[in-house]
């Protein structure tokens, strides 16, 4: 299994103080998760390449950009230019291979994700073409939702398949991750934990991140 990583999601941070919010969690973070929403693929609107560019100027952390957008192809070059390290695209929008090719040519890591209701079989054919598989554990669009435990079976299936193929695949989980749900996710085979509200809505975000890490890899 690849190394364990904590990825705070800035969606639950105070956008007016992003740089300070990130400084609070940076010592406990292996990467930063950036939720991009277009008001079309999901019923919410957040941030895009200009904010990624500003983040890049303030942090050396790996920027993991989760694209909850209907047409990511038109944005990938801008994300690359802005300093994104990885772009994660949704399988629900259709054939991801042209997007993978575009990301590779831009020198950006490739992530693929699926919604809670989407069967794991839709992404298994692509495991050897991606750097990371993200299993959504809430319906994308908003922070602060409850973890959907039924997705753990999909994490197990993906980890088994990756092992069978000899792939050291990063499997990330996103949505409702807390010190209580994190150990369920890692036991199922996830090694990258995204957490938004559990970290940024805590009185001490760094401590909250430490507690999730300790619970997940006890």
Residue of minimal Cβ distance to Zn ion:
66
Distance CA 134, CA 171 (A): 6
Q: Tell me, rounded to whole angstroms, the distance of Cα 3 from its chain centroid.
A: 15
> Nearest approach, Cβ of 35 to ligand DX5 (angstroms)?
5
Taking CB under 6 A as the rule, does residue 28 contact ligand DX5?
A: no
- Which stretch in 76-84, 102-110, 122-130, 133-141 sits in contact with ligand DX5 by CB under 6 A? 133-141
Query: What are the C-alpha distances in Å from 183 to residues 7, 186, 212, 217?
Result: 15, 5, 8, 7
Taking CB under 5 A as the rule, does residue 172 contact Zn ion?
A: no
User: What does the per-residue mask of binding to Zn ion show for 173-192, with x meaning CB under 5 A?
Assistant: -x------------------
- Which stretch in 23-31, 59-67, 94-102, 109-117 sits in contact with Zn ion by CB under 5 A? 59-67
CA angle 196, 30, 132 (to 5 degrees): 85
Cβ(182)–Cβ(214) below 8 Å: no
Token pair for 98 = 């042209």
Q: Which is nearer to Zn ion, 28 or 64 (CB)?
A: 64
Which of 47, 75, 114, 138: binder of ligand DX5 (CB under 6 A)? 138
Which of 6, 12, 108, 112: binder of ligand DX5 (CB under 6 A)? 12
Residue of minimal Cβ distance to ligand DX5:
196
| Cβ neighbours of residue 150 closer than 8 Å, sequence gap 6 or more | 116
Give the catalytic positions in this structure: 35, 174
Token pair for 194 = 């995204």
Distance CA 133, CA 114 (A): 9
Q: What is the distance between the terminal CA atoms of the chain, rounded to a whole angstrom?
A: 15
Q: Which is nearer to ligand DX5, 28 or 35 (CB)?
A: 35
Taking CB under 5 A as the rule, does residue 35 contact Zn ion?
A: yes
Distance CA 51, CA 34 (A): 10
List of residues contacting ligand DX5 (CB under 6 A): 9, 11-12, 33, 35, 66, 138, 140-145, 174-177, 194-198
């Amino acid at each position: 299994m690849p190394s364990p990583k904590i990825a705070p999601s800035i969606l639950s941070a105070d956008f007016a103080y992003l740089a300070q919010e990130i400084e609070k969690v940076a010592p406990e973070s292996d990467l930063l998760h950036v939720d991009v929403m277009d008001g079309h693929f999901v019923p919410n609107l957040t941030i895009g390449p200009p904010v990624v560019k500003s983040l890049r100027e303030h942090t050396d952390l790996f920027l993991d950009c989760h694209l909850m957008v209907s047409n990511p192809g038109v944005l990938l070059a801008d994300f690359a230019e802005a300093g994104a390290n990885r772009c994660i695209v949704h399988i629900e929008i259709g054939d991801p291979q042209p997007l993978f090719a575009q990301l590779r040519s831009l020198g950006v890591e490739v992530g693929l994700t699926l919604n809670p209701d989407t069967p794991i079989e839709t992404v298994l054919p692509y495991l050897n073409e991606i750097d990371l598989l993200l299993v959504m554990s809430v319906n994308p669009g908003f922070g602060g939702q409850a973890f959907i435990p039924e997705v753990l079976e999909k994490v197990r299936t993906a980890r088994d398949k990756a092992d069978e193929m000899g792939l050291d695949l990063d499997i990330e989980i996103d949505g409702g991750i807390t010190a209580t749900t994190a150990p369920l996710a890692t036991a199922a085979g996830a090694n990258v934990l995204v957490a938004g509200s559990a970290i940024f809505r805590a009185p001490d975000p760094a401590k909250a991140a430490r507690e999730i890490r300790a619970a997940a890899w006890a």
